[in-house]
Structure 1
Amino acid sequence: MMKTYVNKEGYEIHATEKSYRLFYEKMGFIEKKENQEENNKDITKMSVKQLKAYCDEKGITYEPDAKKNDLLSIIQEAENESDDSKNQGNASDDPLAGTGGGEE
């Protein structure tokens, strides 16, 4: 059965689970959840109070007087760091790592 996978840049692929595990997982792709895009868009519609509650739920720190745009930036940065740390363990397994570096 084909599933949809996405990398942190938002590029989507459709592959079997076996293909994913053999190749795409090492490249940083993760399985796309059905509502993943909707969830990302929904936070922009949240109130400041809801954003602060979201931050509390996710363990994201913020200033008590933070404005909506500040909170959105903090959330995006925290989620990007989280994605980077998850993918960092696979960096040495990346089949494309070290190619095209330009150093000789």
Structure 2
Amino acid sequence: MKPKKGIFANSSSGYGKLKNNFRKQDEANAKLEEKLKVEKTKALHSEKDLNSGFGDYLRSSEAVEIMKLFVFANTIMLIVTMAWPHFKEQYYMLREWLESFAVTQ
């Protein structure tokens, strides 16, 4: 006749567990950790493949410096193309105003 299992046989209290189950659990945990490490290295390797080329270059320090230079040059171009006509108009207005005070002989 088989002994009946108690209601706590498989619970977290550990009641009814055999001592050998701990070794089996440790071996299962070790295998699981090893499998996770292998999957993680595969994921990192595939991530490197995806980020190679231009994306990898954009993360470099050289690319950051080039981007800073681009932003500066873009600002200069914006000023020249959008604000220069207004500066020119203000210059002519200021020159006419100053000429009105000039003494004519």
The structure carrying a bigger strand percent of its residues is 1
Normalising by the smaller structure, the TM-score range is under 0.3
The structure carrying a bigger helix percent of its residues is 2
Asked which structure has the greater CA Rg, the reply is 2
TM superposition score normalised by structure 2:
0.27
